[in-house]
């Protein structure tokens, strides 16, 4: 216990640094969404269209990576028990939806 009291600010600083690093990495993958209005509007309209066509809820979509040409996301429907998740890539220009493992 004495060890924790002695180094509490150092432990706190290291934990804040680790959490900040993970947040910076996450922001890096979604950076075009924050910096470009056209990308943000295109992503929003594409995801809304996709959710209407497939009957998916927007809350079931988890964005993983955004670029000006494509979106990589996880689709995880909320069921009771274990939720299965599938990864998809949506091309914004041609509106082609493919699984992540197809090499797109």
pLDDT digits (tens, 9 = 90+) for 72-87: 999 988 776 677 889 9
> What pLDDT is stored for residue 104 in this prediction?
44
pLDDT above 90 for 21 = yes
CA–CA separation, 67 vs 77, rounded Å?
A: 24
Tell me the Ramachandran region of residue 82: left when phi exceeds 0, alpha when psi lies from -120 to 50, beta otherwise: beta
> What pLDDT is stored for residue 65 in this prediction?
92
Question: How is residue 9 written in tokens?
Answer: 């600010």
Question: How is residue 93 written in tokens?
Answer: 């220009």
Q: Are 40 and 56 in contact (CB under 8 A)?
A: no
pLDDT band at 5 (very low <50, low <70, confident <90, very high): confident
């Amino acid at each position: 216990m004495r060890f924790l009291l002695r180094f509490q600010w150092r432990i706190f600083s290291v934990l804040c640094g680790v959490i900040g690093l993970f947040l910076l990495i996450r922001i890096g993958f979604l950076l075009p969404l924050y910096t470009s209005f056209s990308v943000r509007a295109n992503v929003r309209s594409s995801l809304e269209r996709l959710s209407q066509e497939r009957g998916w809820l927007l809350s079931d979509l988890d964005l993983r990576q955004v670029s000006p040409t494509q979106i990589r996301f996880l689709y995880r429907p909320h069921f009771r028990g274990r939720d299965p998740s599938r990864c998809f890539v949506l091309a914004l220009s041609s509106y082609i939806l493919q699984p992540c493992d197809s090499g797109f």
